[in-house]
Structure 1
Amino acid sequence: MVSGDGGGGTPSGETGGGGVGAPNLDAEAQANIAHATRVSPQTVQWLLDNYETAEGVSLPRSTLYNHYLYHCADHKLDPVNSASFGKLIRSVFMGLRTRRLGTRGNSKYHYYGIRVKPNSSLNNLSEDGTPLNIRNQGGQVKKTPSGQGGQETSHHTHQQGRNVSSTGNIKSNDPYDSQAHMGSEPSPQTIQNQQFLGDVTRALPILPEINLSNPIPAGVSKQHFENFRAIYQEHCENVLEVIYNLQFHLMETVWRRFWGLGNNNNVISSDKNNVNEVSDEDEGELASKFPSNVLQNMLRSPAILEFMKNVDYQFYQNIVEVLIPDVLRSIPSTLTQSIRNFAKSLELWLSNALMGYPAEAIEVKITAVASLAQTLRRYTSLNHLAQAARAVLQNSNQITQMLSDLNRVDFHNVQEQASWVCQCDVSLVERLKEDFKATLQQQNSLEQWAEWLQTVVDQTLTPQEGSPDFSKHARQFLLKWSFYSSMVIRDLTLRSAASFGSFHLIRLLYDEYMFYLVEHKVASSLGLTPIAVMSQFLSTAKVQNIGEGNFSLNGDESTVPAIKRPKYEDS
């Protein structure tokens, strides 16, 4: 048996059980699975003896893995890591699905459609893999931080990324180990921050079918497309698990474990204190499932490019709504800063992971993630402005001073200067001015101001909805709004208004929030996500070769390691 992290693919000779019961695997099929997943045939047989497929039941992924660790300790076997064990499970029991079950803060991923056989001795083990009789006798079971129990043996092994002590306890130094990192008990701060997250149960997108109307590339079959779709679904689940657990530092490794191309995986992390290396032998999920020529040709096909683009835009929009469900709601500064740091690193992390892939695929992936990063930075800045402005709007003395200064502004002069540039309806401008004064005088809350701004957008843009130039009208509205507000700020500056600082803050917030509202209105009119709309302005960046050369698998010079995009400075 070969120890270490396994990255093998699904063997072609395997069969899966479609109904209730264990799969019907002959000796040759079991041997193929054992070789591909780097486990012993004894382990494959152990799975068949103890588990069976069944409808309407599920098992936590961590429970299956803990059972496996107990099996390895009992038979003096070197366990593979949890990711490789997941591949083994899916190879033996075809068609398994994963679902997140449980309450917020305590939810876990489950394999759906599998159970322990009624006559299996595993029924005498707890979820963490320890025998129930030990617990009932009050025995002390030492646990690792990941919550994995140990069974005392005289066995001691060491493998890449994992230490298994003589007590069976596991200490993981694998940079991405779902048991050690994701399955661990969340910290109190993480639990607290999770209370501010949006609904994660709807964040996984429903993956569309891959459009096969276009010619299929040479060497690529429809089954390859279907396999890619299934693998991409599981990858999205892993990404979402990192997001929900706020373990942003693991995203780089998740991407490299999925996209890595063998000898291109030795990439130094952008965090100099966190050097994550993936073994040359440990190919990424895609590279382990498809021959290199098939993978390269498939990722050049319009069908796959369109599929990835559509899924990424929807998935990334869902991620934004999980992390920042309400841009005006107060959230902890620690969470805000974590999200901003996460956004700053996204493009670099994904660029590193995509080394060696076709330029077309890189551009699709980086354009989408650049839109995600930009959106997260904008929304966290908007949230920061909202909290600062909330204090101003709740201060009656400041509101009184603002009203006094606003009444001294020469709006006639402002209108004369702005009319030539903006050519707006004078009556509309006058009505908005009076509404603004009335809302300010009523000392409305930030949420009431947000409703007023939404009303302004609706009144101005609704008549244009459905027109081919709706996006153009929306952009013009933003420019005119910004120009008028800058003219008012200019007048306040020239008059040395005492409330200038308050007006400046309010102006920054309202400009940003107006952009947010218009962005969503345009997206709704086009039937797109806001991230997809914003990506239209990022997709013109040029794909360039960087580094020391070309990392193509097939020698095609159109394959490049990364893509450069404009940088957005943090505010």
Structure 2
Amino acid sequence: MVRSWIADNFYLCEGCTVPRWLLYELYMESCCPNSKCQVNSATFGKLIRLVFPGLGTRRLGTRGSTRYHYDGIAIKKNSSCYARYCSLLSEKNYHRHGSPGEGSSSAWQTSPSVGIGGNACSSEDAAGYRSKSQKKRTNLQCSPSVVYLKTEQERYQYPWPEFNRIYLWEQELRKKYPYEMVVLLVNEYHSHCQDLLHMVRKEELDKVEDCIMSFWRSLQPENVAFMSLPDVCQLFKSYDRQLFKEMEDILLHDFLEEVPVQRIKSMRLFSKNIEVWLLNALKEFPLPLQTSKSKEVKVFIKRLGRKIDLSNMVKIMRTVLNSNSKVTVLRSDLHAVISQGFLDVPGNLFQTKCRNPEEPQNDIHLKCLNDLMSLLVPSIDIQVLLNCVSSNLQAFVIQPSRSKEEFRKLASDFQLKWNFLLSAVSKVMTLNYADSFGSWHLFNLLLMDFVAHIFLSYIEEEADESFWVAKQNESPVLWVYEPNHFWGYFAEEQPQANVPQTALITLMQSQNNFGLSNVFPEF
């Protein structure tokens, strides 16, 4: 099966190279998660050499970022994976070269013998997934190895790639169930998803309800029963994930964009309506099908909702940053609170005498805040501030995490202490009648919610990756944006023995309901 997939999508081509990681990533994306033929990367490499005997490898790239490439093969242009190949190649090269304004030209140089230009997906093809637009925007990029804000001087020319088919998974089902039924249903559902995305792109949101209802009501009873089978339901669940992710990207690609108020309202209304439309269409359908669809649409609503919230906060915070007087006063007040020791009071989480010398992480929250203060000048681009936060999270939480469990622990600890610190600053400003309290309150909300957004986005991406290789049923995940509810996720994941940490989490959950005086009674 694997050898067949390789032969169907790649061919011998002298002078061309394919990044080794990219080929395996394509295979994993196309592979059924419960497939018996699924292989690890080492076995996959051996199978490639069985398909292409004598295939060599070369180490290509700039100093410090070289990668192994298969030398002498290329992807077929008629391959179903071709669009995804170009997209991944463009995306990874963009990440590797940092700012597109600085290194992108070398990344796309074509050469049959060196660099990346030998790939069958040519520089023009890969670059075609970059935009003509020169707007400078940011987009949160998340993967299990990196979470950061990416500056986009160029958008993808094709920002909505082809809705991908999961052919290997479909082939597995065709062996088990009637061929015609599998092909017919998958083709119909694939077309249905494309129709929905087309309507969203054209902003014909009022037509989505009819499209959903007509598809589900047109299915024959035997097809409904077939779609409710566990393994078949999982396949369609993967299509739903892809559908809602692309739908979210179309509606609000970047929360730093200037989005009209009316469009924000229509997005909120649509996110509420689509769940109702879908559940109404599935009212008489089997419970497994209803549950699967409901879970995916709820994730979509949460994800889009938090991006909309961030978009609104960014818009308001920009008015503060564009005021010289407000920024000057805010910086002065923050300097007084942090530098003059106002936070070092009895009961404070960050006082020196309570610090454990074996836990240097106690200082990182103050460092993050000090880094922001150093950048806080009139007319500062809010993107710069958020990039600063993102970089610190990458350095102190993401990179040190060697496992999912360690990430959850580090993220939980950081978020809890970060929120305590910001709340303590708010408390001091309130007690001292600080002139900048209003500006700080907005900044405080943005910082708390942005950190929560990064962690949740990371967890979502991690869940998507594990979905493809899961051998057992998925664990339930609570996708909630608000920082006080966000901690419920970590609380559920932590062992019950961690009573002190659970108590702190409970305390954070009550913060917004009872006010700062209940959180810091000693003040």
User: What's the offset of the Cα at 1:297?
Assistant: 2.6
* CA–CA separation in structure 1 for the residues paired with 2:364 and 2:207: 51
* CA–CA separation in structure 2 for the residues paired with 1:356 and 1:515: 37
Tell me the residue number matched to 2:204. Answer: 247
Q: 1:488 aligns with which of 400, 425, 431?
A: 425
Tell me the residue number matched to 1:413. Answer: 345
For the residue of structure 2 that corresponds to 1:483, the secondary structure is helix
Tell me the residue number matched to 2:383. Answer: 447
Tell me the residue number matched to 1:537. Answer: 478
Unaligned ranges ≥5, structure 1: 1-96, 98-196, 261-283, 540-571
| TM-aligned CA distance change 1:201 to 1:353, over 3 Å | same
* Aligned partners of 1:478 and 1:514 also within 8 Å: yes
| TM-aligned CA distance change 1:198 to 1:387, over 3 Å | farther
For the residue of structure 2 that corresponds to 1:412, the secondary structure is coil
* CA–CA separation in structure 2 for the residues paired with 1:472 and 1:426: 14
Tell me the residue number matched to 1:511. Answer: 448
Tell me the residue number matched to 1:427. Answer: 363
Identity %: 21
* Aligned partners of 1:316 and 1:372 also within 8 Å: yes
Tell me the residue number matched to 1:178. Answer: none
- 1:331 is the counterpart of 2:289: no
The equivalences for 1:334-483 within 5 A come to 334-409=262-337, 410-413=342-345, 416-418=348-350, 425-441=361-377, 444-469=380-405, 470-483=407-420
For the residue of structure 1 that corresponds to 2:187, the secondary structure is helix
| TM-aligned CA distance change 1:333 to 1:417, over 3 Å | same
Unaligned ranges ≥5, structure 2: 1-79, 81-154, 481-523
* CA–CA separation in structure 1 for the residues paired with 2:188 and 2:171: 18
- 1:236 is the counterpart of 2:168: no
* CA–CA separation in structure 1 for the residues paired with 2:311 and 2:400: 29
User: What's the offset of the Cα at 1:205?
Assistant: 2.6
- 1:221 is the counterpart of 2:173: no
* CA–CA separation in structure 2 for the residues paired with 1:334 and 1:417: 43
User: What's the offset of the Cα at 1:449?
Assistant: 0.7
User: What's the offset of the Cα at 1:352?
Assistant: 0.5
* CA–CA separation in structure 1 for the residues paired with 2:159 and 2:372: 39
Stretch deviating more after TM superposition (298-307 or 407-416): 407-416
* Aligned partners of 1:216 and 1:301 also within 8 Å: no
Tell me the residue number matched to 1:205. Answer: 163
Question: Which one-letter code corresponds to 1:205 in the other structure?
Answer: F
Q: 1:501 aligns with which of 412, 416, 438?
A: 438
| TM-aligned CA distance change 1:315 to 1:357, over 3 Å | same
* Aligned partners of 2:255 and 2:311 also within 8 Å: yes
How many residues align? The count is: 313
* CA–CA separation in structure 1 for the residues paired with 2:437 and 2:415: 22
Tell me the residue number matched to 2:224. Answer: 296
Question: Which one-letter code corresponds to 1:536 in the other structure?
Answer: V
The equivalences for 1:48-197 within 5 A come to none
* Aligned partners of 2:228 and 2:286 also within 8 Å: yes
TM-score normalised by L of structure 2: 0.54
* CA–CA separation in structure 2 for the residues paired with 1:350 and 1:462: 36
Tell me the residue number matched to 1:258. Answer: 215
Tell me the residue number matched to 2:93. Answer: none
For the residue of structure 1 that corresponds to 2:333, the secondary structure is helix
Larger Rg computed on CA atoms: 1
Once superposed, what is the RMSD of the aligned Cα atoms? 3.3
| TM-aligned CA distance change 1:361 to 1:538, over 3 Å | farther
User: What's the offset of the Cα at 1:501?
Assistant: 0.8
Question: Which one-letter code corresponds to 1:512 in the other structure?
Answer: D
* CA–CA separation in structure 2 for the residues paired with 1:295 and 1:317: 26
| TM-aligned CA distance change 1:199 to 1:520, over 3 Å | farther
* CA–CA separation in structure 2 for the residues paired with 1:476 and 1:258: 46
* Aligned partners of 1:327 and 1:383 also within 8 Å: yes
For the residue of structure 2 that corresponds to 1:408, the secondary structure is helix
For the residue of structure 2 that corresponds to 1:374, the secondary structure is helix
User: What's the offset of the Cα at 1:414?
Assistant: 8.4
Stretch deviating more after TM superposition (356-365 or 422-431): 422-431
For the residue of structure 2 that corresponds to 1:417, the secondary structure is coil
For the residue of structure 2 that corresponds to 1:315, the secondary structure is helix
For the residue of structure 2 that corresponds to 1:357, the secondary structure is coil
- 1:521 is the counterpart of 2:453: no
| TM-aligned CA distance change 1:310 to 1:335, over 3 Å | same
Tell me the residue number matched to 1:184. Answer: none
* Aligned partners of 1:312 and 1:368 also within 8 Å: yes
| TM-aligned CA distance change 1:433 to 1:444, over 3 Å | same
**Deviation by residue 1:374-415 (Cα, 9 ceiling, x = unmatched):** 222221111011000011011110011112222332132388
User: What's the offset of the Cα at 1:247?
Assistant: 1.4
User: What's the offset of the Cα at 1:317?
Assistant: 1.1
For the residue of structure 2 that corresponds to 1:328, the secondary structure is coil
For the residue of structure 2 that corresponds to 1:256, the secondary structure is helix
TM-score normalised by L of structure 1: 0.50
Question: Which one-letter code corresponds to 1:508 in the other structure?
Answer: L
* CA–CA separation in structure 2 for the residues paired with 1:354 and 1:526: 26
* Aligned partners of 2:258 and 2:315 also within 8 Å: yes
User: What's the offset of the Cα at 1:314?
Assistant: 1.9
* CA–CA separation in structure 2 for the residues paired with 1:243 and 1:200: 15
Q: Relative contact order (C-alpha < 8 Å, sep 6+): which is higher? A: 2
* CA–CA separation in structure 2 for the residues paired with 1:322 and 1:524: 18
**Deviation by residue 1:94-153 (Cα, 9 ceiling, x = unmatched):** xxx9xxxxxxxxxxxxxxxxxxxxxxxxxxxxxxxxxxxxxxxxxxxxxxxxxxxxxxxx
Question: Which one-letter code corresponds to 2:163 in the other structure?
Answer: P
